[in-house]
Each structure stands twice: as C-alpha cells, then as structure tokens.
Structure 1
Amino acid sequence: MLVVGFYLSWRMHTFRITEEVVEVRSGILFRTNRKARLDRIQGINIVRPFFARLFGAAKLEISQAGQDANVQLSYLGSASADGLRREILRLASGARGESVVASAAPTAQVVGERVIDRRVSEFLAPELDPDAAPPESIVKLDLGRLIGSLALSGSTIMLIVLVAAGIVWISLTGDVFALFWVVPGAIGFGSYYVRKFTKSLRYSIAGTPDGIRVGFGLLSTSNETLPPGRIHSVEVSQPLLWRIPGWWEIKVNRAGHSSTKGAGGEANTTILPVGDRGDVHKVLELLLPELLAQSADVGVAGTGSADGGPADGRLAYGGPTDGVPAELSATVRADTSRAISVIESGLESKGGPDDGFTNSPSRAAVLRWFSWRRNGFAITPGSLVLRKGAIWRQLVIVPQPRLQSVSLHQGPLLRMLDLASVHLHTVSGPISADLGAIDRDAAIRFFEDVASVAVSAAVRDTTHRWRAGEQPA
C-alpha cells in the first residue's frame, strides 16, 4: 500500500515551463500549485541523496526570494535534471534560440543491458557538468587543510574548554555528575565534525555561462548554479587561529536559500569553507567580476565578457597591475589596479593612511581598542568595501547594483567623539554590512557618494537578463 501511495504521488507530480514561469503541481487528495517566475530565480540546485543516486534520480530545487518560496521537483532522472536546469537558465537569461532539452520527464529511459553502466557512471560522475562548466574546479580543497581548519576552529576551542571543565570538576569534587553533560556535548561536537568533513569533500566551484556552479558532498551530493547578480554581499573572514596558516572563509548573502545545507555542513551561504589567499582571489573573481573596471563604455574588443568580467573568467593576482590586460585604457587599468589593491589591503593590511581605505581616526580607539586602524571603507568600480576586525578579520564587499539603501547613525557616545556609523542594507543573511566608529565628516561623504553610485549602478545593471544580447547559434 505504501508503494502504491508513493507511485501515485510521483505520477501526480507534474510541471511545465513557459517563457515566464516554472509551474509545479503535486498532491493526490490535496493539490498544490507552485510557480517560480524566471526573472526572480536566485539559484537552481540539483540534490542527489545517496539512495537516489543509486537509482539515477535527483531532486531539482528552484530558489526564489522570500520565505518558503522555493519550488521543488522530486524526483527526476539525473540526465533530465541537468537538462532541465540548462533549459530554465536559458529562458531566465534572455538568450534566444531553440530549446536545449527536448523533454524532461520524471524518469530516465535506459536500455536494459546498459542500466548498470549508466547508474555507475552517474554515481561516480563529477559534480560539475562538463557540458556546462569547466571539468576542473578552480579551487582544490586540500584534505590536510580541511582537517586543520576543523582542528583550529572555534568549535574545537569550545570542545577543549568543555572537556577541561569536566576534568577539573571531577578532580576537585570527585563527583562524576559532570560526565552527564560532558559526554553528550563531546558526542554532539563529534557529529558536527563528521558532518562538516563529509559535506566539504568533493567541493568544487567553477564559472559557467549562466553563473557560478558550486558542488559538494561525498555520499549525498549537491550542486547549485547561482545566476549573475544574485549575490548581494560577500564576506571574507579569518579567525585568529587561522592567521598563521593564512586561511580564509567566504560567505555570501542571497535573496533565496536552498533547503540543502552547503559546503562545510553549514548554511548554503558558505561559498568557500577554507582556502588560502590564492583561493580567495579565484573565488572573488567569480563572485565579483566587477573587480575589473565595470565601465560600460570601455569597449575594448576581446578583453571583456558580457557580465563585465574578463573574457576567460580569470584574473591573475599578484601585484597592483598583474593580470590587467595591456589593451585596456590607462583609466581602466588604473581603476582595476586600485580595486585589486583595495582587496589586498582589506585582507592583510594592518591599516594606514595609504592603504586605499578611509580609516577611523585615533580617537576611535576608545571604542575599537585593537581594530581602529583597520576599521575603514572604500569605493571601488562596481563595489563598496568595508574592512573591520583585528583579531577576527573581516572584509565585506557589497556590489553597488545590489545595495537596497544606506543609513547613517550617531548615538550620544559617537556624537561626543565626533564619530558616526554607517550601514549598507542588503537582503538578510549572515553578513552585516555595517561599520562603526568612523569620522563623522568622512561618514557623511561616504553616505552621499554611496547614494550616488548605487543609483547609477542600478540603472546600468543588466544581470537579470545576462545573455539577452547574445545571438542565437
């Protein structure tokens, strides 16, 4: 009876794609109808749970802005899911031409003698579709680095404190009651480490014509495509214990959220669980193509892509002008060089008058004991950059077209010190793009400049139809 129920539920799960929406209907007794507008799609995630992978099945989830707004298709054949994703992205991008997938049915028809070979191939296939993305991830998550990042994480410190407190308690009192909270706590930390470790294996990230493809997972896998313009802010952070090996983590704020946990077993806002400076630069190139000058009037043939980034999606970092194409005009080269220098200073500089940032004055040390020298802001082509934190370093980057509003605050204490704080408002998420204890006059100028550049950037933004200008093949 249970099998019959599942079969009927599967048969009643239908969908259709139009030029404007993806519509899904499901349910046997109680029918559900959900629609996803193509111009509101924030990401498309293909999830392959372990047992579903054995049967060549996958779940496709379309992320939209809003609470509980996602649309799911469960379950499709793996090949059908990949083809359907390409078709939805093609329609959402504004590209003209014939459909890239003839049909997408909830089953994959295979010849009997090829079933085993087909399933083995799908089970062992790389997470990145070679037809839609480069076969190699731009970042390799080293096993030793992954283990080291877990060992040097804040969770490890909490675990050590927990165990040490239990040992001290038992030694001083002889009461083993402490084991009732130490042992469950240690088990909880252990399961967290295992989950984060397995989730981070097979991590991959690469650029595609339709956005950024992020994959992860060992047994149950997931890969998600984030179309251009769907990332509202980026945070590059470095905990204190990661300072010596030089490791960083990258998170993003997005308008839509997948129900699947991301790399590292954390929310799907974690784009890079752990990486060195080279990895950070490569990922930022994908997330923020405006690191190259974004002037729409550059017009240098063969040096840029439709989304404002480099034609090959890569930019070699190293010095202020390394990787900047020689064909670009002197103005564009200067803007590009400055943007790269700002990112470099934001990651490593301890603060100074010539590091590209407007930093807090010395009187801010009353409120920012250790970080006032690093506490600053900058405006680069296409982005707004905030730098803060001396013990826990943070660099927050907000693409100008994604800014929703900017606010300026000055409480009684800040007024006494002639300081102010600013807040760049984007969609909700783990990143807070705010900066406190900066000079009042500098904050006012920043407020005015941000309001001006954000309006101009929003007018020029075309990422909602990122391939509309392409000619059909």
Structure 2
Amino acid sequence: MAPGSEQAPLPSSGAPEAVGERTHPASALVRVWIWVAAGLVAFGRDVVEGGESRSLLSMLWIGLAIVGAAALLGVAFGYLSWRFTRYFIDGREIRIERGILTRTSRRAPYERIQSVDIAEPFAARVFRLCELRIELAGGDDSRVSLQYLRHSEADRLRAILLQRAYEAGSQAVREFAAPPAGSGPVAADPTEAGAAPVPVPVPGAWHLDQTPPILVVPPTRLVVSTVASAEFLVPAAFLTALVVGGVVFPGVIVFGVVPLLLWAGQVIMSRVIAQWDFTLRRAPTGLHVTRGLLSRISQTVPYDRVQAVVVRQAALWRPLRLERAEVTVAGGSNDSDDSGSATLVPVATPGEVRMVIGELFADVDHARVPRVRAPGRSWLFAPVGWRFRAAGSDAHGFVAESGWIMHRTDVLPHAKTQSVAIKQGPLQRLRGVADIEVHTPDGPVAAHARSLDATDVRGLATTQLALARQAREALGEG
C-alpha cells in the first residue's frame, strides 16, 4: 500500500458519515469471460482424456454444461463482489471497501493523489464501462482503482477527486485542478451526505482527449516498426524454418509452432495492439497519453515525476529513421497490466522524439550534448560495440550511449541525479579505461557508459557532481 494510505483520522462523532456508493451493476458481468475460459479449458482437458469413447453430440452437451456452469458461477461471484464493494468520498480521502468473506478497506488521502486516469479494458468496453485509476505518491501498490463505471460517472468523479486533491494541497494536481475564477458552476457532491458545495471547473477543461495532440503515431508506422524488430523477426524466422522442415519431419511443426506463435502474438499485442492510435497531448501537469485498440488506456505522465528518458533504435530502424522512447517515473506503479506505462513514444522520427523530450525537459537537447567516445584500446571489452560507446554533459543534462544491435541513448537532467560512481576492473586498469554510472530510480533508464578513457571518466564524474548540485540548488532543493 502506498505510504500514508493506510492511516486516516477517525471522523468526529458530530460529522455526517459519507454515504457509500456502488459501481455500475454491469460490473458483475465484466469478468465472467475468465470463468468461461476456465470452463473451456476444463472441457478441453475432458475431451483429451476421454473423448474417444463419447459421441460428438454427447461431447457437445457436456461442453455446454461445463461452460454454462462456469458462466453461472462467474455471474454469481461477480454479483457478490459487486454487492460487497462500496466507495466513499469524504472531506479527507476516497475509501474503497470490498470483500465477501474478508473485508478490506483501501484509503487514498487527497493530498497524496498524483493523477486520476481513465482506462477502458476490452471486456469493460463491451458493456460501455470504464475503470477509474488513481495514482498515489509512493512506489509499489500505489494505485487505487474503481471497477467499473459509466464514462459520465467516471468523468464526474475524476473532476471531484482532482478538485479535492487541489484543496488538500496535492502539488501534483494543484495547478491542474484549480478552476479559473468564476468559470465553473458550484455543485454539491452527491457522494457525501450533507456535503458543502464543491466548485467544479468547466466540464470541457477536464476532457483532455479533446485537446489538440502534439504527436499521433499512425498504425502503419507501428506495423512497419514491429515487423522490422528483432523481437518479431526471430520467431518469424523460426516459424519459417519449422514449416520448411515440416515437409520432412511433420511432427516438428506440432511441437514447435505453438510457442513461436505465442511469442510472435505477444510482440504484436504489446507493440501494435496496445499502442494503436497512440496520441500524445499536453496537460497542465504532464503529457497525456491515449492508446490501445482492444483496451483503451488514458493516462498522464506527470512532469515532476519523470526522472530520465532512454531513446532506443534497433539496427533495422536506422535506415527508416525511427526511434522509441521510454521514461523512468518516480513512484510508478508496478501493476501487471501496466506494462506499457514506461513507454513515452512507441515509435517516431528522431525530430519527433527530441520534441517530446523537450516537453519534459525544456532545456535538454540530447542530440547537441558534446560527448567523449570510447578509445580504440577498449575494443577488448566490446569488439564491435566499443565504437558506439560515449558519454557527455552540458549545462542541462547528462547523456550516455551504447549498443550497436540495439542502440540506446540515456538522457538525464542534472537535477534528477541521485549519485555518481566510477568502476574499474583489473583488466580495465591495465587498458587505462573505466566505467561511469549516473544513478537514477529503478526503471528502463540506465545512464551508464562503459570502458571510456579513465581520465575522461574522472572528469565527467567531477563535472556531473558539480552540475547536479547546482541544478538542485537552483530548484531550492539544497
């Protein structure tokens, strides 16, 4: 649980108690497909183990009985789960209580709210529902979610939560939630009994999906970049070899095709389906992302929580002039369904990537940062890759480069530097080279430069420490 989200002061005896609200009744049906899938698996196992002794009609009846029973169990469990789930919004926090046998209560104080986003998982979209995701300041398990609501209800709750977070002093949403003077109506929050009127901003101001985009990734670019990636080409090459080999050894195809198809399918899902119609927009507190073909995701990357950026370019992408950018976000959620949250740009031209990085770090232009490159005597540690190793800094940021099959450029503003380390093994000492590591929070960024000239490394480390100190002092962080 996120820090500070467990303890909350008890309400005074004279204060009106918040009235709990339920999510949409159709929430009970959203996850029935999981039970149906389990029923199909059970039926398939039954067919494999004893299907030879039954007629086709009897197997169909058995399959319908198993899948139907599983669906009924799913509906019953979903109803009970919905029935015993309530959310409360009072003057201090949003509280979500759920559980059939064991009750749990998850609390999110307004002052710890970082962002409020709306997601549309595929199963929920079938019922025209969505999920409200509340990100809190903290690390693991820092997300609170409401599953599932109508879009109008989600928009209303999002406006209320952002307004309450603003009033509670949440720095991450303070500018975003502040309504212009006299621009919004005053409405009572119906989720709280006896609640005082809550100023609600103009509704259009909360619909970030309607603001002009600064970057739209066309689907054709997603498809081309995926086909030209090693993650897709490797299973595709193995599949081709299996088909050719299957002419001589038919059994090889049976045992080899399924895992390779799953591998290729996972790549397509994560690189194409999940990033479909990727659109980036400016928001007062960050960059707002909408993406996804089956499950639609709408989320905000807060400016103040982005620590660093890494730009990747596969070897086959270089002739196409395409790059991919990922970010390390402080206190990011590690939820399993959020694998794409580190993606800043799935694929774009170098100019577009530089533009987006400029939105996050106004003064940092990684393409113009002067670098020192690995000397020729470092070839022993990377016979080919040494030519692609470099590092450097200017008045605004630190940059490290490495990799020739997958070239990467790590970009780090000086103010985000946590520490600097120099490493030198015995063989490196004999060759007069060393490594420099500029540390950031855990994430995709690793600002490390390997086997540079030892003198250059010492100079880079000394300069980086001084520049990081100056940057923090300029921000008032001491």
> Could you tell me the TM-score, scaled by structure 1's length?
0.70
Aligned twin of 1:188: 262
Quick check: 1:179 aligned with 2:179? no
Q: In structure 1, how many angstroms separate the alpha carbons of the residues matched to 2:301 and 2:164?
A: 13
5 Å-filtered alignment, 1:51-450, equals: 51-53=123-125, 54-76=127-149, 77-84=153-160, 86-87=162-163, 90=166, 91-93=169-171, 94-95=174-175, 102=187, 131-132=207-208, 135-167=211-243, 169-170=245-246, 174-196=248-270, 197-255=272-330, 256-257=332-333, 259=335, 261=337, 266-291=339-364, 340=365, 343-344=366-367, 356-450=370-464
Structure 1 stretches of 5 or more lacking a match?
A: 108-127, 292-339, 347-355, 464-473
Q: Distance in 1 between matches of 2:142 and 2:261?
A: 35
RMSD: 3.2
Look up the SS of the partner of 1:200 in the other structure.
coil
Question: Is the CA contact (8 Å cut-off) linking 1:371 and 1:389 kept in structure 2?
Answer: yes
> Which consecutive unaligned segments of at least 5 residues does structure 2 have?
1-75, 193-203
Shift of 1:185: 2.5
Residues 388-432 of structure 1: per-residue CA shift (max 9 Å, x gap):
223322110112222221111111111111111011111112222
Describe the superposition over 1:168-188 as per-residue Cα deviations: whole angstroms up to 9, x where unpaired: 5445xx332211332202431
Distance 1:138 1:66 in 2: 29
- Partner deviation per Cα, 1:170-215 (whole Å, 9 max, x = no partner): 45xx332211332202431453255232222221111211111111
- The one-character-per-residue Cα deviations of 1:332-364 (angstroms, maximum 9, x if unpaired) are xxxxxxxx4xx2257xxxxxxxxx112222222
Shift of 1:237: 0.8
1:243-293 per-position Cα deviation (integer Å, ceiling 9, x unaligned): 11111001111231263646xxx53211211111232122112222232xx
Q: Is the 8 A contact 2:389 2:449 kept in 1?
A: yes
How far apart, CA to CA, are the structure 2 residues paired with 1:132 and 1:431?
28
Distance 1:389 1:57, change over 3 A: closer
Higher mean C-alpha deviation, range 451-460 or range 434-443: 451-460
- How far apart are the structure 2 equivalents of 1:240 and 1:387? 14
- CA separation in 2, counterparts of 1:374 and 1:290? 25
Say which structure, 1 or 2, has more relative contact order (CA 8 Å, 6+ apart).
Answer: 1
Contact persistence 1:376–1:435 (CA under 8 A): yes
For 1:357, give the aligned amino acid: R
Shift of 1:441: 1.6
Q: Hey, what does 2:120 align to over in structure 1?
A: 48
* 1:367-393: CA deviation from partner (whole Å, max 9, x where unpaired): 233343442222233321112223322
- Name the amino acid aligned to 1:49: P
Q: Tell me the SS of whatever aligns to 2:147.
A: strand
> Secondary structure of 2:293's partner?
coil
Pick closer, same or farther for the CA change 1:39–1:2 going to 2, 3 Å.
closer
Report the CA distance shift for 1:142/1:57 in structure 2 as closer, same or farther (over 3 A). Answer: closer
Q: Distance in 1 between matches of 2:387 and 2:90?
A: 56
The alpha-carbon deviation at position 134 of structure 1 amounts to 6.3
Task: Write the distance in 1 (CA, Å) between the matches of 2:231 and 2:465.
Answer: 40
- In 2, the alpha carbon distance for the partners of 1:194 and 1:390 equals 24
**Alpha-carbon distance in 2 for matches of 1:402, 1:366:** 33
Looking at structure 1, the residues matched to 111 and 448 of structure 2 have their Cα atoms a distance apart, in angstroms, of: 29
Q: Is the 8 A contact 1:253 1:269 kept in 2?
A: yes
Amino acid at match of 1:430: P
Residue identity in the other structure for 2:341: N
Aligned length: 376
- Tell me which amino acid in the other structure corresponds to 2:318: R
CA deviations on 1:291-329 (whole Å, 9 max, x unpaired) are 2xxxxxxxxxxxxxxxxxxxxxxxxxxxxxxxxxxxxxx
Q: Which residue matches 1:295?
A: none
How far apart are the structure 2 equivalents of 1:180 and 1:462? 64
| Contact 2:119/2:130 (8 A) holds in 1 | no
TM-score by length of 2: 0.70
- Bigger Rg, structure 1 or 2: 2
Is contact 1:22-1:37 (8 Å) kept? yes
The DSSP-based 3-state class of the residue aligned with 1:289 is coil
